[in-house]
């Protein structure tokens, strides 16, 4: 093991290179740019020997990944915000074609008004494309999750693309230490990539052509089954990586001080990490509050949410808003609880546009929910 003190973007780049992809497609967009720049540095110093393709747009970046993956190559790319949105059509294509592409998305605001800070509306708006979505809360978790993402995407029971999400600037541009295992540990964990299907001129086949409703229906169902398989494989892969590296960040959730909790906070990303300090403070004040930090938004861990609902009332903080509805996590939590639990769920929307959410803010939201003074969904920290 070596210690790497660096930003989340550069640690993600290190993980991507150590996974030995054969193709990386690169196009810059703030605040993702330093990630693909770091991979370019690995190209320059000879540490990355795959194909590094500089393309003309994010749409082209995903097209390049699709072509490379369809030809049987392990592939990686990264993007953010409007870049992710420009990929939208091809995100569907990659998932429907069952291509195990791995991509880092740096969560950033959608404009206008133009803003380079964090919220999760970019990735949340892609939740129905078929991509597995994982949200990180530290630089160490970013490294470990990128490695695990390749293992998951390429598993024969999955064969779906994986999006690893990290918050803009809070993680992408903040330096924190991460332990980096030796290359052999990563090689042994991932193994050599063997595609489950590929375009092969020696064994020609038709793929992606026009099909009728009966077969299209089966394609969609197979994708759904693969997502459900991921619920079982993500915990196993996380345990296997713990054995290999010593690091474990949870599987579908990371649970923190949930034993005997009467209220459990659900949050994602950097807010999830900040929430631990709030939980410590609240417990010292005598409140029975725990934290379940959601790591995996797709597939959504419905069964785990129901178990939490049978134990405690739930408090949800969203750094996103599904316009016309409510925070996406809050909406999913309520759907999971419907008909299964009488637990009360209280939701907050906070931190949109990069507005800071401190542990004191999180404490205040939890206290409002505990006291019953919060409405069903509250916009917290709004300056009137």
Mean pLDDT per 10-residue section of the chain, whose length is 384 residues: 97 98 98 98 97 98 98 98 98 97 98 96 98 98 98 98 98 98 98 94 86 93 98 98 98 98 98 97 98 98 97 98 96 95 93 96 97 88 68
Extents of the domains making up the chain: 2-245, 253-379
* pTM, entire model: 0.97
Quick one: which of 110, 23, 131, 111 has its CA closest to 67?
A: 23
Count other C-beta atoms under 10 Å from residue 161's C-beta.
Answer: 27
Positive or negative, the CA dihedral 261, 262, 266, 267 is negative
- pLDDT value for 346: 96
Distances (CA, A) of 230 to 194, 219, 276: 19, 17, 27
On the question of a cis peptide bond just before residue 228, with omega within 30 degrees of 0, the verdict is no
The residues, ordered by sequence, that sit 6+ positions from 2 with a Cβ below 8 Å of its Cβ are 179, 180, 182
State which fold the 2-245 domain adopts: Rossmann fold (3.40.50)
Residue 126 burial by Cβ neighbours in a 10 Å radius (0-12, 13-18, 19+): buried
Strand duo 289-294 + 253-256: pairing: antiparallel
C-alpha neighbours within 13 Å on the C-beta side of residue 124? 23
Q: Do domains 2-245 and 253-379 have the same CATH topology?
A: yes
Q: At what angle are helices 213-245 and 88-96 packed, to 10 degrees?
A: 90
Rounded distance between C-alpha atoms, residue 98 and residue 102, angstroms: 12
Handedness of CA 213, 214, 215, 219 (dihedral sign): positive
317 DSSP β-pair partners: 348
Residues 272 and 329 sit within 8 Å (Cβ to Cβ) = no
The pLDDT value recorded for residue 384 is: 45
Q: What CATH architecture is 253-379?
A: 3-Layer(aba) Sandwich (3.40)
Residue 102 DSSP one-character state: E
- Helices H / strands E in the chain, number of each: 13, 15
Length of the chain: 384
The pLDDT of residue 383 is 58
């Amino acid at each position: 093991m070596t210690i790497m003190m660096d930003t989340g973007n550069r640690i993600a780049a290190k993980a991507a290179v150590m996974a030995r992809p054969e193709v990386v497609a690169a196009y810059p967009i703030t605040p993702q740019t330093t990630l693909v720049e770091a991979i370019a540095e690995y190209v320059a110093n000879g540490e990355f020997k795959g194909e590094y393709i500089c393309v003309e747009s994010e749409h082209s970046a995903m097209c390049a990944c699709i072509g490379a993956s369809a030809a049987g190559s392990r592939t990686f790319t990264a993007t953010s915000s409007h870049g992710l949105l420009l990929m939208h059509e091809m995100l569907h294509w990659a998932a429907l074609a069952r291509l195990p592409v791995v991509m880092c998305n740096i969560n950033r605001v959608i404009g206008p008004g133009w803003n380079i800070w964090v919220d999760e509306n970019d990735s949340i708006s892609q939740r129905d494309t078929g991509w597995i979505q994982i949200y990180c809360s530290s630089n160490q978790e970013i490294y470990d999750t990128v490695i695990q993402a390749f293992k998951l995407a390429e598993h024969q029971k999955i064969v779906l693309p994986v999006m690893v999400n990290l918050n803009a600037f809070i993680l992408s541009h903040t330096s924190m230490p991460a332990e980096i295992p030796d290359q052999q540990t990563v090689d042994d964990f991932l193994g050599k990539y063997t595609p489950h299907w590929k375009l092969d001129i020696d064994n020609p086949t038709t793929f992606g052509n026009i099909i009728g409703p009966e077969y299209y229906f089966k394609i969609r169902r197979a994708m759904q089954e693969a997502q459900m398989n991921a619920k079982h494989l993500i915990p196993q892969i996380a345990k296997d990586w713990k054995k290999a590296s010593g690091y474990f960040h949870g599987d579908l959730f990371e649970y923190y001080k949930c034993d005997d909790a009467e209220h459990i906070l659900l949050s994602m990303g950097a807010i999830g990490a900040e929430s631990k300090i709030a939980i410590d403070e609240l417990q010292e004040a005598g409140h029975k509050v725990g934290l379940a930090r959601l790591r995996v938004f797709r597939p959504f861990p419905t069964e785990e949410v129901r178990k939490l609902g049978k134990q405690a009332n739930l408090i949800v903080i969203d750094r996103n808003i599904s316009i016309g509805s409510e925070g996406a996590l809050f909406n999913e939590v309520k759907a999971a609880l419907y008909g299964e639990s009488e637990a009360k769920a209280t939701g907050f929307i906070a931190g949109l546009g990069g507005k800071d959410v401190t542990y004191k803010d999180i404490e205040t939201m939890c206290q409002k929910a505990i006291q019953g003074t919060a409405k069903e969904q509250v916009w917290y920290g709004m300056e009137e």
